[in-house]
Structure formats: C-alpha cells, structure tokens
C-alpha cells in the first residue's frame, strides 16, 4: 500500500507514521484512490503498491535486482500462481517479493542476520509476509534437509556465490520440468554454474547477457541514448528434464 503527495511512502494498513507534513493514520480497510489527511490537514492519496515501487521503497541491504532482471527471471522461468520457489540469497528481497506477488510461495535464505531482518520487514511492507519465509542462514548448509523433508520446488532462483553447490542438487530439489535461474555479474561464476548444470544433467542450459539502450526522441530525431544502462549480470537458466 503506497501513499503519496509529491512524496511517496510505503505504509502498511493500520499503521501510523510521521512525515514532515504531520502524522498520518492509515486505516486497516483503506482503499486505493482514497485521500487521507495528516493531523495538520495535508492530503495524501492512497495507491496500490506496484512491483516497480519495491525497487524504490524497500530498505536496501545491497544493490537490489533491477526490474528488468526480475522480469527476465519471471519470463524465463514462468513463475506463477501456486508455484513453490526456493531463493538464495535474499538481499533486499525485491525478487522474492515480485515472485510472491505473482502468486508463488517462497523460501529464501539470507546469510546475514541483519539483512534477513530487513528483508522480513520489506516483505511485510510488500504485503507478502505470509508467502515469503526468510530463513537466516546459508542455503548450502540446508540442502540435505531441503531434499529430504520438503516437497520439490517449481523454481530455484539463485543470486549467491554458492550457486554451483545448489545447482548440483537441482535435480533433487526441483520438480520435473522445473527451472533454475542463476544471476551473476561475472563470467567465471556463470561458467561454473553452466558446467555444474551440464554435469548433473539439466537441459536447455543457457547463459545470456542483456544489454538495454534507452531511446531518445527529441526534435532533432530519434536515437539510442548516449547514456545507456550498464551491465548488471549474466542470467543462466536451466531446466530439470
């Protein structure tokens, strides 16, 4: 739930929060489109939170995955309602929140206890606390129990140096037909993931680099921007089949 004037805030229903324009109480049953007033009489409009807002309003514990890369993970793995997703490492939690907002339930691992706590707060702000379980710890330490005691997952999403260790167990962690998506800025790390994926027999193993150019349209003409978006990461996708 998002509230804004010329400012934007991410607030949970039922919460009271203070701005420089006064204190605002957000009712439990607030609806998008409503207007709320602070105790000083300044108006804020209520708006539904949208995925890209997470990128701007989550408290950050590192550089969050950009909407473009989140989208590529969603498109290449087809995460959808009812899916069970295993994610590591959580970081700021933008990917987990997007995935949960698409109807999936997520188990996500974050090594750093403070970061994990921030991620839990972020999930609550995004309204998906009930669908994302943020576990403090290293997913690599839990692989045995994940394989032994939990149902297989539909999708694994990995943004961690441990990725090859997890990919090694992907055939056991994943349902038949499930996908693993690994995100890494580095060539060598991506290569190690690809080699591991091939060794354990995953299919359709592909690593892609994405380059985006923004277009400038002005009176002189149309052209790619002179200030393009830089490299974020390589996305490796493989399928369990």
Among 5, 18, 22, 103, binds its own copies (CB under 8 A): 103
d(CA 204, CA 237): 8
- Indicate which single residue of 185, 199, 201, 203 sits in contact with its own copies (rule: CB under 8 A): 185
Contacts with its own copies, 12-41, as mask; x by CB under 8 A: --------------------xx--------
Residue closer to its own copies by CB (options 144, 204) is 204
Q: Residues 205, 194: contact at Cβ < 8 Å? A: yes
- Whole-number Å distance between alpha carbons of 238 and 241: 9
Question: Does an H or E element contain 180, and which?
Answer: strand 174-184
User: Under the criterion CB under 8 A, does residue 74 sit at the interface with its own copies?
Assistant: yes
Give the total of residues touching its own copies (CB under 8 A). Answer: 70
Query: By CB under 8 A, is residue 5 in contact with its own copies?
Result: no
Q: Which range binds its own copies by CB under 8 A, 20-28, 133-141, 166-174, 203-211?
A: 203-211
Determine contact, residues 157/95, Cβ cutoff 8 Å: yes
- Pairing mode of beta strands 132-136, 105-110: parallel
Element holding 45 (H helix, E strand): strand 43-47
CA distance 10 to 97: 14
Q: Which residues bind its own copies (CB under 8 A)?
A: 2, 32-33, 45, 47-48, 50-54, 67-81, 98, 101-103, 154, 175-179, 185-191, 194-195, 206-215, 217, 220-232, 234
């Amino acid at each position: 739930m998002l509230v804004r004037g010329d400012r934007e805030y991410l607030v949970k229903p039922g919460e009271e929060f203070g701005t420089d324009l006064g204190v605002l109480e957000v009712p439990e049953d607030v609806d998008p489109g409503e207007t709320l007033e602070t105790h000083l009489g300044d108006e804020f409009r209520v708006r539904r939170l949208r995925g890209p807002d997470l990128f701007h309003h989550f408290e950050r514990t590192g550089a969050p995955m950009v909407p473009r890369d989140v989208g590529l993970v969603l498109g290449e793995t087809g995460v959808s309602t009812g899916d069970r997703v295993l994610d590591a490492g959580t970081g700021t939690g933008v990917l987990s929140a997007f995935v949960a907002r698409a109807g999936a339930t997520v188990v996500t691992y974050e090594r750093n206890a403070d970061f994990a706590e921030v991620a839990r707060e972020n999930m609550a702000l995004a309204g998906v606390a009930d669908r994302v379980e943020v576990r403090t710890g290293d997913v690599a330490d839990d692989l045995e129990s994940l394989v032994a005691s939990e149902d297989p997952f539909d999708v694994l999403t990995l943004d961690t140096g441990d990725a090859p260790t997890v990919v090694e167990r992907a055939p056991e962690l994943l349902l038949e037909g499930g996908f693993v998506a690994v995100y890494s800025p580095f060539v060598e790390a991506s290569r190690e993931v690809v080699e591991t994926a091939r060794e354990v027999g995953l299919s359709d193993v592909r690593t892609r680099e994405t380059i985006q150019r923004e277009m400038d349209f002005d009176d002189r003409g149309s052209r790619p921007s002179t200030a393009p978006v830089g490299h974020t990461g390589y996305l490796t996708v493989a399928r369990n089949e």
